[in-house]
Structure 1
Amino acid sequence: MEQSAKPEPIAAAAILTFHDAVELFLMLTSEHLGVTVPDKGGFVPRYFDSLHPDKAGPTGIDLAGRLGVKRLTDHRNAFKHAAALPSGAAVVQARDDTERFFEENTPKVFNIAFDSIDMVELIPQPSTREQARSARSAWQQGDHLTAMGTLAIAFEELFTAHVMNPGHGYSPFAFGPAVEHGAFMGLKIARAITAASDERTHRNPTRAVEDVGKKFQHLSSTVLEMQAALRVMTLGLDLHRYFRFKALCPDVLNYADQRVEFYDPGGRFQADEDGFAYCEQFVLAAALRLAELEGHTTPTWRNAR
C-alpha cells in the first residue's frame, strides 16, 4: 500500500507485491480447505475454478473479486514478462482490487474480518508486544495522543533492552553506553567546573565556563541522535522512515517518580488512522529485524547456559 503511493515509476513495483499477496492467500486457502489446485493453466481459473463448490464440492468456496484479480494478473504479467510499465491509474486500480479481494474473501474463507487481523501479535519481545497492544487499545478508545506516545515508548524500550546485555557487556546495537542528556546539562557542567575551582570569587560560572557547558550539551545531544540513527540503520530500516516515525509521534516526558507524559510542542501532532498504522508497522518491523539479528549475534554457548 505504501509502495503504491510513491511517485511513478517507483510505484509500479507494487503491482508485483499485490499479486504475490493474492497468490499466497489463494495458496493458503487451498491448503485450509484441503483442495488440490492444478499446477498448469491460467492463474485465475486454476484457483477460482478449482476452489469453487461446483468443482471442489462441499468444501469449496465461491471467491469474490475474480475480475479484479484478472486485471491485476494481466498488469503483473505485462510488467514482469514484457517490461510494460503500468500507469499510475493501473497501480491505483490494482491497489483497490487487492484491498477489496482481501476484505471480501477473508471472512468467507477464515470466518474473520480482514481489518480485525492485528500484526502486533507477531512481535516476539513480550514488553514491546504489550506496549503495542496498549497503544492499539488507546487508539480504539479515542485517546490518540496516548496511543502514538505509547508506540514511541515501545520503540525506545525495544532498543533500551538491548543497549546492555546483562553480564555480557554492550550489545552490538548499542554503539557505546547511553549518553546522558538534559535541558540543563550545560549549566550543571558549568557549575561543576566552577565548584572545582580554587578561586572562591567564582561563585557563578563565568561566560567561558558556560560556553564549555553549552558545547558539552550540544555534543551529547548530537551523539545521542547519531546513536539512534546508527541503531536504526544497523537493523536495515530506512532512516527516512525513522524520521517520519519520530515526526508523527508526540514527545515523551519521563519523570523521576515514574510518571510519563506525552506532549505536543508547537501543535505539530496530527493523528489519523494512516499515521497510527504507519507507526505501528514501523515498531513491528524493528522488533522483527532486531529478533532476527539477535539470532546471528548471540553466541551459541550463551544459549546452552
Structure 2
Amino acid sequence: MENNLNKDIIIRRLAIIKYLYNIGVQQSMQVETIAGFSILAFHDCAEMFLLLVAENKGKKDEVNFMSYWDKYPELTLKESMRALKDRRVSIKHKGQFPSKFDIEISRSTMTDFLEQNTPIQFKIEFKDVSISNLVSYENVKMYIDMAESNYNEGNLYDCIVNCRIAFMELLSTYELNKRKQYSINSLLNIGDEIGEDYQKLVGSDDRSGARWFEQVTKTMNKVREVLKITALGIDYRRYTYFETITPEIHVWWKDGGRDYEAMPQEYYERRNILKGVDCRFCIDFIIDSALKLQEFDYDINNILK
C-alpha cells in the first residue's frame, strides 16, 4: 500500500526539482563547453524526482538509477534515461564532454520525462508546478504566480509587467525592515541619491558647466544602482537585460499600499518584441534573485533598541 507524502511536501519538492531542471535548461543554451554541464544538472534532477517517487510510495531503500524502472514499471522513457545516465558517466568519470546534439537530446529527454511522469505519480501537470513555492516573500510570490499564469495563457505583456512589479516588490520588501527608526533610508543604500541642486549654483547654462554637473549626477546615481544590485548578490548582467526587456512601471501610494501602473502595451511594442523566451527569463530571474536574498535576511528592529 502506498504511503503518500503530504501534498505540501510534494509541491515543495517538485518546485526544487523544477528549479534544478531550469538551471539545466539555462546551462544547455550556453556555449558547448558550459552546456555540457547541463547533463549533470538533468541527471541530479532525475535522481531527485525518482527519490520523491519512492518516498511517496513509502519506500526509502537506496537503489541504483536504472533499478527505479524495475521497481516502478509505470515510469516511462527507461532507455532514453539510460542514455542520459551514460552521458553523465562519460562527463564525470571519463572527462568526455557531449556534443551539442547530445545536449539537446538530453534536454528534450528530461523535459519529456518530467512532463509524462509528474501527472502519473503526483496527479499534477509539470507545467503547473511553480518554483514560486520556494519564495518566502508572499507579496513577491503573488506577482510571480500571476506572471506564470499570464505566461501559460500566452499573455506575454502582462507576464513581463508582473515580473517587473515582482522585482520592485522584492527590493522594497527586503529593504523595509532595514531602515532605522524615523529614517526613510535603507541601510542598503549606497549614499544618498543626487538631485539637481547644482542648478541653483550654475543654472542650466552649459557655458557655466551645467552639462558637466548633469553628467556627473547621472553617472553617480547609476554607480549607486550598480553597487546596490551587485552588493545584494544579484547578477548585474542579467539585471541589465531584465531592465531592458521589461516596461517602465510607475508607483503610486494608495490606501496605505503601493499601486502600479505600466506603460500601455502599444507603446512598449513600438520598440520591443514580445517573446516567450524573454518571459521565461524574467520569471527565472525574479525567483533566482528572491532565493539569493533569502539566503541572508534580517530585521534591524530585532537588533537596535
TM-score, normalised via structure 1 length: 0.77
Residue-by-residue CA offset, 1:107-136 (whole Å, 9 max, x unaligned)? 010000000111123221122222323334
1:76 matched to 2:97? The reply is no
2:70 pairs with 1:49: yes
Task: Give me the whole-angstrom Cα distance separating, in 1, the residues matched to 2:80 and 2:252.
Answer: 53
Q: Which residue of 2 aligns with 1:32?
A: 56
Query: Hey, what's the Cα distance between the residues in 1 that align with 2:273 and 2:245?
Result: 7
* SS of residue matched to 2:262: strand
Tell me, yes or no, if the aligned pair for 1:249 and 1:269 is still in contact at 8 Å: no
Distance in 1 of aligned mates of 2:205 and 2:249 = 33
SS of residue matched to 1:287: helix
Contact persistence 1:132–1:151 (CA under 8 A):
yes
Does 1:149 pair with 2:173? no
Q: CA deviation at 1:137?
A: 4.3
Deviations 1:12-55 (A, max 9, x none): 0001000000000001110011134444xx521x2111223xxx
- For residues 107 and 92 of structure 2, what CA distance do their matches in structure 1 show? 17
Amino acid corresponding to residue 248 of structure 2 in structure 1: D
The residue identity in structure 2 corresponding to 1:30 is A
| Distance across 2 between alignment mates of 1:135 and 1:97 | 26
User: Does 2:119 correspond to 1:107?
Assistant: yes
Q: Is the 8 A contact 1:163 1:174 kept in 2?
A: no
Alignment partner of 1:2 is 2:33: no
Equivalence for 1:133: 145
Give the residue type in structure 2 aligned to 1:284: I
Determine if contact 2:28/2:38 at 8 Å carries over to the other structure: yes
Q: 1:209-248 maps to which residues of 2 (within 5 A)?
A: 209=208, 211-212=209-210, 214-248=211-245
Query: What letter corresponds to residue 89 of structure 2 in structure 1?
Result: N
Supply the distance in 1 between the matched residues of 2:204 and 2:31 (Cα, whole angstroms). Answer: 55
CA contact (8 A) 2:135 2:291 kept: yes
CA contact (8 A) 2:179 2:187 kept: no
CA RMSD of aligned residues (A): 3.0
Is structure 2 residue 21 aligned with structure 1 residue 12? no
Give SS of 1:294's match: coil
Moved more, 6-15 or 240-249: 240-249
**Which structure would you say has the larger RCO, counting Cα contacts within 8 Å and 6 or more residues apart?**
2
| Contact kept? 1:12, 1:91, Cα under 8 Å | yes
2:104 is matched with 92
Whether contact under 8 Å (1:162, 1:171) holds in the other structure is no
Query: How far did residue 265 of structure 1 move?
Result: 6.1
Question: 1:304, 1:37 → 2: CA distance?
Answer: 49
Q: What do residues 246-297 of structure 1 show as CA deviations (whole Å, max 9, x unaligned)?
A: 22212224468866232556833222222111101111111111121215xx
CA contact (8 A) 2:28 2:104 kept: yes
- Which ranges of structure 1 fall in alignment gaps of 5 or more residues? 53-61, 195-203
CA 38–253 in structure 1, closer or farther in 2 if over 3 Å, else same: closer
Structure 2 vs 1, CA of residues 272 and 304 (structure 1 numbering), >3 Å: closer, same or farther? same
Name the CA distance, whole Å, in 2 between partners of 1:72 and 1:19. Answer: 7
5+ long unaligned stretches in structure 2: 1-24
Within the alignment, does 1:167 sit opposite 2:189 as a pair? no
Q: 2:217 and 2:191 mapped to 1: Cα distance?
A: 12
Larger Rg computed on CA atoms = 1
Q: 1:7, CA displacement in angstroms?
A: 1.3
Q: Deviations over 1:32-85 (max 9, x none)?
A: 11134444xx521x2111223xxxxxxxxx101111110000000011001111
Deviation digits for residues 127-175 of structure 1, max 9, x if unmatched? 2222323334444565433331231122123223444623367555322
- In structure 2, the residue matched to 1:208 is 207
Q: Does 1:302 align with 2:299?
A: no
One-letter amino acid of the counterpart of residue 260, structure 1 = E
Aligned to 1:176: 191
